[in-house]
């Protein structure tokens, strides 16, 4: 069976190869659960490839700490748009649209419209829109695609990101390739602009960087061996994040000892606002290959 609803309000995709993905999804009949169509598991060769914190809150009261939360329509916080951090998409009641299959790919689609938002959310970002989000797997790939349709007459603008948490055995053995010579904003250094001088980006302390105008492909290696290839489309930027020791201790939904077992490499368009004209659509996404 390619997909089915599990007992704890999620969709499980199953590929004939044995690869699986789980997506927690709320919909209008279950308003108490607001999981934001978050991918929370992806297994290839019986090995989990995504990180979800052992302390993640799964009752819908806040966004899930791990997997692939959807950031939209703001990144971080914004003085002019009074929405919670990273916007409303990762913690909204999405609708389940259906299963899509072909010979090699198993996929599921979700949608979110402005009329599904709370009054406060619509007041903060008063635009008519539809989001379509598709999650697809093959034997060794995970594809996540977000389509934004502006259903207003006037142009609106937004920022979006796929906040992917990768599971790793030891962060000190991890390197990210494909970011050399690019400019990044270093949030740990009060927003300083820095040009990446390293061929391989490694983590030996808190890292919170927004790399801009990033090529389509970056990769993650573990112990000098390829582990993941990430190919993005329609998105300009890539965020690299690990909270390290002190920040981990300050996060109630993240274990103090978990920072060595994750790295976030997140594709998005967040350095500049994306403008979409009335009646137009924008598409952004990623294909992750487990190597």
**H or E element, residue 47:** strand 47-48
Q: Confirm or deny that 90 is annotated as ligand binding.
A: yes
| The token pair that represents 159 in the structure block | 């920022």
Q: Confirm or deny that 85 is annotated as ligand binding.
A: yes
C-beta neighbour count of 262 within 10 angstroms: 23
Q: In this structure, what are the phi and psi dihedrals at residue 174, rounded to the nearest 5 degrees?
A: -105, 140
- H-only helix segments in the chain: 119-124, 244-249
Catalytic residue among 22, 86, 163, 258: 163
Catalytic residue among 216, 266, 272, 280: 266
Tell me the DSSP string of 87-124.
Answer: BSGGGS-PEEEEEEE-SS-EEEEEEEEGGGS-HHHHHH
163 a catalytic residue: yes
**H or E element, residue 131:** strand 129-137
Q: Confirm or deny that 121 is annotated as ligand binding.
A: no
> Residue ranges for the binding site?
65, 85, 90
> Residue ranges for the binding site for substrate?
65, 85, 90
Active site members? 163, 266
């Amino acid at each position: 069976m390619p997909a089915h609803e599990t007992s704890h309000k999620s969709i499980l995709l199953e590929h004939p190869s044995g690869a699986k993905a789980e997506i927690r999804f709320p919909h209008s009949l279950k308003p108490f659960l607001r999981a934001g169509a978050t991918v929370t598991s992806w297994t290839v060769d019986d090995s989990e490839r995504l990180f979800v914190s052992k302390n993640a809150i799964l009752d819908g009261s806040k966004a899930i700490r791990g997997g692939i939360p959807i950031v939209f329509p703001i990144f971080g916080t914004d003085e002019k748009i009074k929405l919670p951090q990273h916007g409303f998409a990762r913690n909204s009641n999405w609708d389940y649209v259906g299963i899509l299959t072909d010979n090699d790919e198993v996929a599921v689609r979700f949608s979110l419209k402005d009329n599904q938002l709370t009054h406060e959310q619509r007041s903060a970002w008063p635009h008519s829109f539809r989001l379509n989000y598709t999650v697809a797997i093959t034997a060794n790939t995970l594809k996540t695609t977000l389509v934004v349709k502006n259903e207003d007459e006037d142009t609106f603008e937004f920022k979006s990101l796929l906040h992917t948490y990768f599971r790793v055995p030891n962060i000190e053995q991890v390197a990210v390739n494909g970011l050399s010579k690019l400019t990044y904003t270093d949030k740990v250094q009060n927003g300083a602009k820095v040009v990446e001088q390293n061929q391989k980006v490694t983590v030996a302390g808190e890292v919170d960087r927004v790399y801009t105008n990033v090529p389509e492909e970056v990769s993650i290696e573990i112990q000098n061996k390829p582990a993941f290839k990430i190919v993005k489309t329609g998105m300009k930027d890539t965020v690299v994040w690990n909270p390290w020791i002190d920040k981990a201790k300050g996060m109630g939904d993240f274990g103090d000892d978990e920072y060595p077992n994750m790295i976030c490499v997140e594709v998005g368009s967040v350095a500049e606002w994306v403008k979409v004209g009335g009646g137009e659509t924008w598409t952004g996404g990623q294909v992750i290959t487990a190597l």
